[in-house]
Amino acid sequence: MTDRKRQKAGILGGTFDPIHNGHLFIAQTALEEVELDRVVFVPSGRPPHKTHQRITESAHRLKMLQKAIQSNPYFECSTCEIDNEKIGYTYDLLEKMKQNNPDVDFYFIMGADSFMDIKSWYRYNALLTLAGFIVMKRKGYDAQLLDHQAHHFSQKQQEKIIILDSPKLEISSSDIRNRVNLGKSIKYLVPEEVERYIESNRLYRNGQECL
Protein backbone atom coordinates (compact mmCIF):
# COMPACT_ATOMS: atom_id res chain seq x y z
CA MET A 1 0.00 0.00 0.00
CA THR A 2 1.39 3.41 -0.95
CA ASP A 3 1.53 6.22 1.54
CA ARG A 4 -1.22 8.78 1.29
CA LYS A 5 -0.01 12.01 -0.27
CA ARG A 6 0.90 14.55 2.40
CA GLN A 7 -1.06 17.77 2.30
CA LYS A 8 0.58 21.17 2.08
CA ALA A 9 -1.09 23.92 4.06
CA GLY A 10 -0.17 27.57 4.34
CA ILE A 11 -0.64 29.49 7.58
CA LEU A 12 -1.29 33.22 7.45
CA GLY A 13 -1.40 34.85 10.85
CA GLY A 14 -2.16 38.43 11.80
CA THR A 15 -4.42 40.68 13.79
CA PHE A 16 -6.58 41.23 10.67
CA ASP A 17 -7.87 44.50 12.07
CA PRO A 18 -9.48 44.50 9.55
CA ILE A 19 -8.67 41.84 6.98
CA HIS A 20 -8.27 43.42 3.53
CA ASN A 21 -7.82 42.50 -0.11
CA GLY A 22 -4.04 42.58 0.25
CA HIS A 23 -4.16 39.74 2.80
CA LEU A 24 -6.42 37.72 0.52
CA PHE A 25 -4.30 38.28 -2.58
CA ILE A 26 -1.12 37.26 -0.74
CA ALA A 27 -2.82 34.07 0.45
CA GLN A 28 -4.04 33.28 -3.07
CA THR A 29 -0.57 33.92 -4.52
CA ALA A 30 1.04 31.53 -2.01
CA LEU A 31 -1.68 28.96 -2.67
CA GLU A 32 -0.99 28.95 -6.40
CA GLU A 33 2.79 29.45 -6.50
CA VAL A 34 3.64 26.82 -3.87
CA GLU A 35 0.76 24.53 -4.88
CA LEU A 36 -0.75 24.48 -1.41
CA ASP A 37 -3.88 22.46 -0.72
CA ARG A 38 -5.28 25.17 1.53
CA VAL A 39 -4.45 28.31 3.47
CA VAL A 40 -5.39 28.63 7.13
CA PHE A 41 -5.94 32.17 8.42
CA VAL A 42 -5.08 32.49 12.12
CA PRO A 43 -6.26 35.74 13.74
CA SER A 44 -4.14 36.74 16.72
CA GLY A 45 -5.42 36.76 20.26
CA ARG A 46 -2.65 38.57 22.16
CA PRO A 47 0.25 39.12 19.74
CA PRO A 48 3.58 39.63 21.58
CA HIS A 49 4.56 42.64 19.42
CA LYS A 50 1.31 44.51 20.14
CA THR A 51 0.90 44.11 23.88
CA HIS A 52 0.61 47.89 24.39
CA GLN A 53 -1.66 48.48 21.40
CA ARG A 54 -5.43 48.50 21.49
CA ILE A 55 -6.86 45.91 19.14
CA THR A 56 -10.46 45.52 18.04
CA GLU A 57 -12.45 42.89 19.92
CA SER A 58 -11.62 39.42 18.62
CA ALA A 59 -15.26 38.57 17.87
CA HIS A 60 -15.42 41.42 15.33
CA ARG A 61 -12.09 40.54 13.73
CA LEU A 62 -13.07 36.89 13.46
CA LYS A 63 -16.46 37.70 11.92
CA MET A 64 -14.89 39.96 9.29
CA LEU A 65 -12.33 37.27 8.45
CA GLN A 66 -15.01 34.61 8.08
CA LYS A 67 -17.01 36.85 5.77
CA ALA A 68 -13.92 37.65 3.69
CA ILE A 69 -12.95 34.04 3.00
CA GLN A 70 -16.36 32.38 2.77
CA SER A 71 -16.39 32.30 -1.05
CA ASN A 72 -12.99 30.57 -1.38
CA PRO A 73 -13.09 26.79 -0.76
CA TYR A 74 -9.29 26.71 -0.28
CA PHE A 75 -9.33 29.22 2.57
CA GLU A 76 -10.23 28.38 6.16
CA CYS A 77 -9.94 29.94 9.59
CA SER A 78 -8.56 28.70 12.91
CA THR A 79 -9.55 30.27 16.23
CA CYS A 80 -6.74 28.60 18.20
CA GLU A 81 -4.96 31.90 18.90
CA ILE A 82 -8.13 33.80 19.77
CA ASP A 83 -9.14 31.00 22.13
CA ASN A 84 -5.73 31.15 23.81
CA GLU A 85 -5.69 33.62 26.70
CA LYS A 86 -1.88 33.71 26.80
CA ILE A 87 0.42 35.74 24.56
CA GLY A 88 0.64 33.80 21.31
CA TYR A 89 4.04 32.96 19.81
CA THR A 90 4.48 31.58 16.30
CA TYR A 91 6.58 28.72 17.67
CA ASP A 92 3.72 27.56 19.91
CA LEU A 93 1.22 27.91 17.06
CA LEU A 94 3.27 25.81 14.63
CA GLU A 95 4.06 23.18 17.24
CA LYS A 96 0.37 22.82 18.03
CA MET A 97 -0.56 22.68 14.34
CA LYS A 98 1.98 19.92 13.69
CA GLN A 99 0.84 17.89 16.70
CA ASN A 100 -2.81 18.10 15.62
CA ASN A 101 -2.07 17.45 11.92
CA PRO A 102 0.87 15.02 11.64
CA ASP A 103 0.14 14.27 7.97
CA VAL A 104 0.35 17.91 6.88
CA ASP A 105 3.41 19.91 5.82
CA PHE A 106 2.90 23.49 6.98
CA TYR A 107 4.26 26.65 5.39
CA PHE A 108 4.18 29.88 7.36
CA ILE A 109 3.42 32.88 5.12
CA MET A 110 5.17 36.08 6.13
CA GLY A 111 6.40 39.40 4.77
CA ALA A 112 10.01 40.16 3.98
CA ASP A 113 10.17 42.66 6.85
CA SER A 114 9.17 39.97 9.37
CA PHE A 115 11.61 37.47 7.88
CA MET A 116 14.49 39.93 8.16
CA ASP A 117 13.63 40.33 11.85
CA ILE A 118 13.07 36.63 12.56
CA LYS A 119 16.14 36.29 14.80
CA SER A 120 14.27 38.34 17.41
CA TRP A 121 11.36 35.89 17.44
CA TYR A 122 10.74 33.49 20.30
CA ARG A 123 12.81 30.28 19.77
CA TYR A 124 13.50 31.23 16.16
CA ASN A 125 16.03 28.44 15.54
CA ALA A 126 13.57 25.77 16.63
CA LEU A 127 10.80 27.62 14.82
CA LEU A 128 12.58 27.21 11.50
CA THR A 129 12.53 23.43 11.87
CA LEU A 130 8.77 23.22 12.39
CA ALA A 131 7.57 24.42 8.99
CA GLY A 132 8.50 25.81 5.63
CA PHE A 133 8.46 29.58 5.20
CA ILE A 134 6.94 31.48 2.32
CA VAL A 135 8.46 34.95 2.33
CA MET A 136 6.63 37.61 0.32
CA LYS A 137 9.18 40.02 -1.11
CA ARG A 138 7.85 43.54 -0.76
CA LYS A 139 8.73 46.86 -2.28
CA GLY A 140 11.97 48.16 -0.80
CA TYR A 141 13.47 44.76 0.04
CA ASP A 142 16.43 43.58 -1.99
CA ALA A 143 16.43 39.91 -3.03
CA GLN A 144 20.14 39.68 -2.16
CA LEU A 145 19.45 40.73 1.42
CA LEU A 146 16.77 38.08 1.72
CA ASP A 147 19.11 35.44 0.31
CA HIS A 148 21.82 36.54 2.73
CA GLN A 149 19.40 36.13 5.62
CA ALA A 150 18.43 32.65 4.42
CA HIS A 151 22.08 31.59 4.19
CA HIS A 152 22.48 32.14 7.94
CA PHE A 153 20.40 29.03 8.46
CA SER A 154 21.38 25.42 7.87
CA GLN A 155 21.10 23.87 4.41
CA LYS A 156 18.07 21.88 5.48
CA GLN A 157 16.34 25.03 6.68
CA GLN A 158 17.27 26.98 3.54
CA GLU A 159 15.46 24.43 1.40
CA LYS A 160 12.26 25.22 3.27
CA ILE A 161 12.44 28.98 2.68
CA ILE A 162 10.56 30.05 -0.44
CA ILE A 163 10.81 33.67 -1.55
CA LEU A 164 8.00 34.99 -3.75
CA ASP A 165 7.25 38.34 -5.32
CA SER A 166 4.44 39.92 -3.32
CA PRO A 167 1.36 41.18 -5.17
CA LYS A 168 1.74 44.91 -5.85
CA LEU A 169 -1.10 45.96 -3.57
CA GLU A 170 -0.15 48.73 -1.15
CA ILE A 171 -2.97 48.26 1.36
CA SER A 172 -2.65 48.41 5.13
CA SER A 173 -5.14 47.82 7.93
CA SER A 174 -4.03 51.02 9.69
CA ASP A 175 -4.79 53.06 6.55
CA ILE A 176 -8.21 51.45 6.33
CA ARG A 177 -8.95 52.26 9.97
CA ASN A 178 -7.90 55.87 9.46
CA ARG A 179 -9.99 56.20 6.31
CA VAL A 180 -13.07 54.97 8.16
CA ASN A 181 -12.41 57.38 11.01
CA LEU A 182 -12.13 60.26 8.52
CA GLY A 183 -15.32 59.24 6.76
CA LYS A 184 -13.53 58.17 3.56
CA SER A 185 -14.50 55.21 1.40
CA ILE A 186 -12.79 51.84 1.80
CA LYS A 187 -14.47 50.36 -1.24
CA TYR A 188 -12.14 48.04 -3.23
CA LEU A 189 -9.74 47.86 -0.26
CA VAL A 190 -11.78 45.23 1.58
CA PRO A 191 -14.41 42.70 0.44
CA GLU A 192 -17.92 44.14 0.24
CA GLU A 193 -19.12 41.95 3.11
CA VAL A 194 -16.35 43.32 5.33
CA GLU A 195 -17.13 46.90 4.31
CA ARG A 196 -20.79 46.39 5.24
CA TYR A 197 -19.84 44.79 8.56
CA ILE A 198 -17.59 47.71 9.50
CA GLU A 199 -20.35 50.16 8.61
CA SER A 200 -23.16 48.33 10.41
CA ASN A 201 -21.09 47.84 13.57
CA ARG A 202 -19.62 51.34 13.44
CA LEU A 203 -16.06 50.07 13.84
CA TYR A 204 -12.97 52.30 13.70
CA ARG A 205 -14.78 55.52 14.53
CA ASN A 206 -14.10 58.23 17.09
CA GLY A 207 -10.34 57.69 17.03
CA GLN A 208 -10.46 53.96 17.83
CA GLU A 209 -8.05 53.15 15.02
CA CYS A 210 -5.47 55.85 15.74
CA LEU A 211 -3.13 53.66 17.77
pLDDT, residue 165, reads: 84
Q: In 10 A of CB 192, how many CB atoms?
A: 11
Q: Do residues 107 and 8 make contact, with C-beta atoms less than 8 angstroms apart? A: yes
Domain contains 188: no
For the stretch 180-209, pLDDT in tens is 999 999 999 999 999 999 999 999 987 554
Question: Does residue 65 have a pLDDT over 60?
Answer: yes
Identify any residues that bridge with 40 across adjacent strands, giving them in sequence order.
11, 76
Domain that holds residue 105: 7-170
Structural domain total, the chain: 1
pLDDT, residue 155, reads: 61
pLDDT, residue 18, reads: 97
Pairing between β-strand 104-111 and β-strand 7-14 as defined by DSSP bridges: parallel
104 compared with 53, residue with greater pLDDT: 104
Closest residue by Cα to residue 29 from 39, 20, 19: 39
Question: Does residue 112 have a pLDDT over 60?
Answer: yes
Domain contains 180: no
16 compared with 156, residue with greater pLDDT: 16
Residue 135: give its domain's CATH number: 3.40.50.620
- Whole-number Å distance between alpha carbons of 38 and 72: 10
Domain contains 13: yes
Domain contains 101: yes
Residues with Cβ within 8 Å of residue 128, at least 6 apart in sequence: 118, 153, 157, 160
Q: Is 42 helix (H, G, I), strand (E, B) or coil?
A: strand
Domain contains 69: yes
φ/ψ of residue 92, rounded to 5: -65, -40
What is the mean predicted confidence (pLDDT) over 47-64? 79
Model confidence band, residue 1 (pLDDT cutoffs 50, 70, 90): very low
Question: Does residue 160 have a pLDDT over 80?
Answer: yes
For the stretch 21-37, pLDDT in tens is 999 999 999 999 999 99
Amino acid at 102: P
Burial per residue of 67-104, b for 16 or more beta-carbon CB atoms within 10 angstroms, e otherwise: bbbeeeeebebbebbbeeeebbbbbbbbbebeeeeeeb
Domain contains 54: yes
171 compared with 140, residue with greater pLDDT: 171
Model confidence band, residue 49 (pLDDT cutoffs 50, 70, 90): low
Domain contains 182: no
Domain contains 201: no
To the nearest whole percent, how much of the chain has pLDDT over 90?
61
pLDDT, residue 157, reads: 64
- Tell me the pTM: 0.88
